[in-house]
Amino acid sequence: MTPLALTMGEPAGIGFEITAAAWSALRGGSTPFFLIGDIRGIRGIPVEEITSPDQAAPAFAEALPVLHRPLPSPITPCHIQPDHAAGVIAAIEDAVRFAKAGSASAVVTNPIQKASLYAAGFPHPGHTEFLGEIAGTGVPAVMMLASPMLRVVPITVHEPLSQAIARLTPELIITHARIAHAALIRDFGIAQPRLAIAGLNPHAGEAGTLGREEIDIIAPAIAALRAEDIDARGPMPPDTMFTAKARPGYDAAICLYHDQALIPIKALDMDGGVNVTLGLSIVRTSPDHGTALDIAGTGRADASSLIAAIRLAAEIAHRRNA
């Protein structure tokens, strides 16, 4: 069985802890994975150093396979080391290389500390944009947050709200909706996806009295999508579209900015939410949380989201292979 590749993420964060917990929870199952990172970061479980991905599956039931990538200085929970940044980036590049070559079925990334990477010259806003560069397919890399309760796609992500709103166009909405529509068919097995397009203003603009973005930008995008036989609905008032009564009416919500998407899914299912990058040549997921530096090394980290990310990556990889 082709294993999944996990990256270590920020060494000072909870990545090593939740990886160990995920192995303990999944070691008896059918989803083998290996970690790319410094083997010294794993504590409390058996580990086996491997030199290639094909050695991971045979070792997985008895120990966490680790493709050892030594860091230049000791790992101390909660204390970021600037000289670790290059190793964090290299682990992501290695995982993508294995996935492209077919020796890893998918990539699951542990959370990174963006400020640390920025200080080392990392030019990308985050994982999604970096992966779009090294594993892109000619379309934008698009973030989806998915859980059994809700799927959301933010059209704008890591930028100031004023800038995100100014950048909205019908074309931007159409592009993201097309990519989400294709992914729901290919990766989630939904034959006829239903997309709910969020409004921007209170009450979706109240027929233009509370803002014209719905009339001038969002409605034209929806009309264009429907002309392509994509089931796009809206603009939907953001204050009601995420209620228990509304959610069964669509398969994914297309949201206009970061918090419009992430607040509802984290409020509904913080532990089960998974970040999925759409539009790549490989399968990539990650936990729906950050590095949690404040609790790293305390044993309080919850591995639920990483476990969900591993399971979803395996499901998507299986669908693509089928």
- pLDDT tens, 44-89? 999 999 999 999 999 999 999 999 999 999 999 988 898 999 999 9
For residues 317 and 6, give the distance between their C-alpha atoms in angstroms, rounded to a whole number: 14
Residue 144 in domain: no
One domain, residues 212 and 312: no
Domain count for the chain? 2
For the purposes of burial, counting CB atoms within 10 Å of the CB of 15, is it exposed (0-12), middle (13-18) or buried (19 or more)?
A: buried
User: 251: domain range?
Assistant: 149-271
One domain, residues 4 and 111: yes
One domain, residues 208 and 312: no
**For residue 151, what pLDDT is reported?**
98
pLDDT in tens, 111-148: 998 888 888 788 887 788 889 898 988 899 999 999 99
Return the structure tokens found at 100: 């492209």
**For residue 118, what pLDDT is reported?**
85
pLDDT bracket for residue 174 (50, 70, 90): very high
8 Å CB contact between 256 and 164: yes
Where is mean pLDDT largest: 105-109, 154-158, 295-299?
105-109
Which stretch of 10-14, 132-136, 284-288 has the lowest confidence by average pLDDT?
A: 132-136
User: Alpha helix (H) ranges present in the chain?
Assistant: 15-26, 56-59, 85-101, 114-119, 127-135, 161-166, 170-186, 213, 219-227, 258-269, 304-321
For residues 222 and 173, give the distance between their C-alpha atoms in angstroms, rounded to a whole number: 8
One domain, residues 129 and 1: yes
8 Å CB contact between 155 and 252: no
Residue 143 in domain: no
In our burial notation (b when 16+ CB lie closer than 10 A, e otherwise), range 281-290 reads ebbbbbbbbe
| DSSP-assigned letters across all residues of 53-92 | GGGHHHHTTTSEEEEE---SS--BTTB--GGGHHHHHHHH
One domain, residues 194 and 83: no
pLDDT in tens, 180-215: 999 999 999 999 999 999 999 999 888 888 889 999
One domain, residues 10 and 61: yes
**For residue 117, what pLDDT is reported?**
83
Tokens 């097309």 map to which residue? 178
We report the CATH number of the domain holding residue 89 as 3.40.718.10
**For residue 88, what pLDDT is reported?**
93
One domain, residues 1 and 117: yes
